[in-house]
Amino acid sequence: LEVERVEEKEVAELASRAVRALALEGPIDIDIRRGNNGQPAILEINARVGANVRSAEDVLVAMINTWRSQS
């Protein structure tokens, strides 16, 4: 499995809007794909750490720091 971090403002904004609209907290895994029209669309939202998080050290560090600050 190869994971590539892609920084696309439009995709990040869609994910942020979904999180705010649903008042989600904690680890969240959002699958987003672009449709044939090029627009990003949410496929699913899961209340868990995503399987690819092991490839994103900064996400793991942020999660650990948040957990420590709440303990």
Helix (H) or strand (E) holding 20: helix 9-21
Location of structure tokens 């496929």: 43
Look at residue 56 and tell me if it is in a domain.
yes
What long-range pairs does 7-16 form, CB within 8 A, spacing at least 24? 8/40, 10/40, 11/40, 14/40, 14/42, 15/42
Look at residue 52 and tell me if it is in a domain.
yes
Task: For the full predicted model, state whether its pTM sits above 0.85.
Answer: no
26 three-state secondary structure: coil
Location of structure tokens 């996400």: 59
Look at residue 64 and tell me if it is in a domain.
yes
Instruction: Per-residue pLDDT tens, the chain, 71 aa: give them.
Output: 455 566 889 998 999 999 999 999 888 888 899 999 999 999 999 988 777 776 677 777 887 888 899 87
Helix (H) or strand (E) holding 65: helix 57-70
- Which domain does 23 fall in, by range? 9-70
How many domains, in total, are found in the chain?
1
